[in-house]
Amino acid sequence: MATGEQPPGQTLGDRLYDFAFKNRVWKSIFRSGYPNTPRNQMLAVATNVFLHLHPTRIHRTHVKITHTFCLGGLSFFLFLGLTITGVLLMFYYVPSIERAYGDILRLETDVRFGQLLRNLHRWMAHGMVLTVLMHMMRVFYTGAYKPPREFNWVVGVVLLVLTLLLSFTGYLLPWDQLALWAITVGTNMVGSAPILGEPNRFVLVGGFQVGQAALIRFYTLHVIALPLIAAIFMAVHFWRIRRDGGLARPL
């Protein structure tokens, strides 16, 4: 459409390039041009809602793999992966003690890629606990919790707790012997607290023993309440990284 503005002597490649990246549709989605110049590369980051978690330029030491091992990013990646596989798993799963176990069996045998889906969700969940713990160690040993990043460390500890709770609530859902008794042991630990322990355990389990009430509570916490809370804390966590000046650097 813009052929009239082009200088003469264009190659076919230039024409295709213009056709692909200089049309109205492309420009309505991506405000900046194709990121092949420094200006467009910075605009690509700054004008994209997802990429603008990043600054446009960073210090060269921060892209060294051994500086962060990507652990925080991987934790977030696993959270996204768990959300996707989790939503797909919800298609096949009913949180009732009559149906839950059978649903998992059907998922594994009748649903195409069902076993793979469940395996992915399980390994990502274990992986996320590990990457979050290792991310905490990375931040500690690189001294990245020091002023002005004190509060973001606290947010990180909250996210660690939320990760453990997400994993713990998901543990009950297959409704097999492993699930039931792991949650029984775990919630009994809560119940052993002085004074408020037993009432807390009762609220969490929804009764005196792990049953239907516990299953629906854990399910609701697992698929909506805790992911939402975690997403909010993650937003704060990422925003604070930018506010506090990106990754910590030596003085």
Partner 1 sequence: MAVSEQAQPVSGAVKGRQRRAREEELLVWPDLVFIEFIAAVLFTITLAILAVMVDAVLLDRANPAVTPNPSKAPWYFLNLQELLLHMHPALAGVIVPTVALIALGAIPYFDTSNEGQGEWLSTPRAWPNLIVGSIVGFVGTMLLIFYDASSHVRLYEWIANPGTSKFLSNGDLNPSFNGWPESLAFLKSLRSIETELNWPDALTSIPVGEKILRTDLLGLPAIPLEINVAKVIVEQIIPVSTMIGLPILLSIVAWKVGLAQTKRDHMILQFSGFIAVFVILTIVGTFFRGEGLELVPYTIYSHG
The binder of partner 1 chosen from 15, 27, 31, 57 (CB under 8 A): 57
Q: Least distance (Å) from partner 1 to the CB of residue 229?
A: 16
Per rule CB under 8 A, is residue 239 in the interface with partner 1?
no
The binder of partner 1 chosen from 34, 92, 145, 233 (CB under 8 A): 145
Per DSSP, the three-state class of 149 is: coil
Q: Looking at 10-18, 88-96, 139-147, 216-224, which segment touches partner 1 (CB under 8 A)?
A: 139-147
Kindly identify the residues of this chain, within the stretch 27-56, that bind partner 1 according to CB under 8 A: 35, 38, 41-42, 44-45, 51, 54-56
Per rule CB under 8 A, is residue 177 in the interface with partner 1?
yes
The H or E element spanning position 96 is none
The binder of partner 1 chosen from 30, 34, 92, 153 (CB under 8 A): 153
Residue 226: closest CA among 76, 83, 123, 101: 83
Per rule CB under 8 A, is residue 77 in the interface with partner 1?
yes
Q: Least distance (Å) from partner 1 to the CB of residue 224?
A: 21
Give dist(CA 8, CA 4) in Å, integer: 10
Work out the burial of residue 190: count CB atoms within 10 Å of its CB; fewer than 13 is exposed, 13-18 middle, 19 or more buried: middle
Per rule CB under 8 A, is residue 124 in the interface with partner 1?
yes
CA distances from 137 to 134, 160, 179, 181 (A): 5, 12, 29, 31
Per rule CB under 8 A, is residue 60 in the interface with partner 1?
yes
Q: Least distance (Å) from partner 1 to the CB of residue 97?
A: 7
- Closer Cβ to partner 1, 116 or 203, answer by number: 116
Work out the burial of residue 203: count CB atoms within 10 Å of its CB; fewer than 13 is exposed, 13-18 middle, 19 or more buried: exposed
Give dist(CA 122, CA 170) in Å, integer: 9
